[in-house]
Structure 1
Amino acid sequence: MKIIKKVLIKQIVTEKSKEKINRKFNEQKMRLEQECQQLLFEKRKLQNKASISKQEITQRFQQEIDNRKEKIKLVEFKVEQLDMLEIGSEIIEKEVEALVEVTEGSHWNDIDSAAIIIKDDVVIRIDE
């Protein structure tokens, strides 16, 4: 019988991977900041229209801006955590689904604890 299970993708931290992750976080932060600026612009544009309540517009846009500011804080926290990571440590990058063969007599713990270890975008080990 074949089953679909989740497999962890773990990454060994290197200088190269650390730079790549840091760059990704910075791009995320810049995108969120741009979204905040765009929302402020849209808010001002809508407030100039007399048909819509200014208080309602302000409240709705402020909520969206606050959501993005929270995401920015989270990204900044992740950057701080990344700076503290030591070279050679393993981090969980993501989860993927895999098709696994299960037969009578298979040890469930062996099936359930699979992981793929990568280093600089190259698979170096598969833990089964």
Structure 2
Amino acid sequence: MRKERERGIFMKIIKKVAIKQVISEKSKSVLQEKFNKHIMRLEQECQQLLFEQRKLQNKKSISKQELHDRFQQEIKNRKEKIKLAAFKIEQLEMLEIGSEIIESEVEALVEVKEGTHWNEIMEQTAIIIKDGVVVRIDN
């Protein structure tokens, strides 16, 4: 992706940009609700897996031990995710209003041309959001 401009050649490269969220009362409660819904969904999946396991145990073509082991592994995986979400809720409760957390990461196009300082381009860039509004872009 090289192009000629008035003064030299330039390229556009893709760079990762961190999305950070400033914790407010509102965002704290939204995150807490999100984690609680995730836990409820995982608990429902565990119940559904137990139901499916009981349903399939009556079939003669499937080894009961193998069936039990497979379902227990799936349930165990979900219970680990429940523990992780509960831990995140605990951590969230300890966060002070105004602190920043990394929420996700996006990719951005960055223009590079002759004479550009590479270290400046490769510095960590972040977009800071508070209650759904961009409040700052750190370069």
Q: Which band: TM-score by shorter chain? A: over 0.9
Amino acid at match of 2:12: K
Q: CA deviation at 1:51?
A: 1.8
> Which runs of structure 1 show a deviation greater than 6 angstroms over 4 or more consecutive aligned residues?
none
Residues 63-113 of structure 1: CA deviation (Å, up to 9, x unaligned): 000000000000000000000000000100000011111122223333221
Mapped pair 1:41 → 2:51: yes
Mapped pair 1:93 → 2:100: no
Residue 91 of structure 2 corresponds to: 81
Work out the CA distance in 1 between the residues paired with 2:120 and 2:30: 32
Q: TM (normalized to structure 1)?
A: 0.96
Q: TM (normalized to structure 2)?
A: 0.89
Work out the CA distance in 2 between the residues paired with 1:61 and 1:110: 51
Greater per-residue helix proportion: 1
Residue 122 of structure 1 corresponds to: 133
Larger Rg: 2
Work out the CA distance in 2 between the residues paired with 1:61 and 1:79: 27
Amino acid at match of 2:67: I
Q: CA deviation at 1:50?
A: 1.6
1:21 is aligned, of 31, 47, 53, to 31
CA-based RMSD: 0.9
Unaligned residue ranges in structure 2 (runs of 5+): 1-10
Work out the CA distance in 2 between the residues paired with 1:110 and 1:54: 61
Greater per-residue strand proportion: 2
Amino acid at match of 1:124: V
Unaligned residue ranges in structure 1 (runs of 5+): none
Mapped pair 1:102 → 2:112: yes
Amino acid at match of 1:48: N
Q: CA deviation at 1:121?
A: 0.3
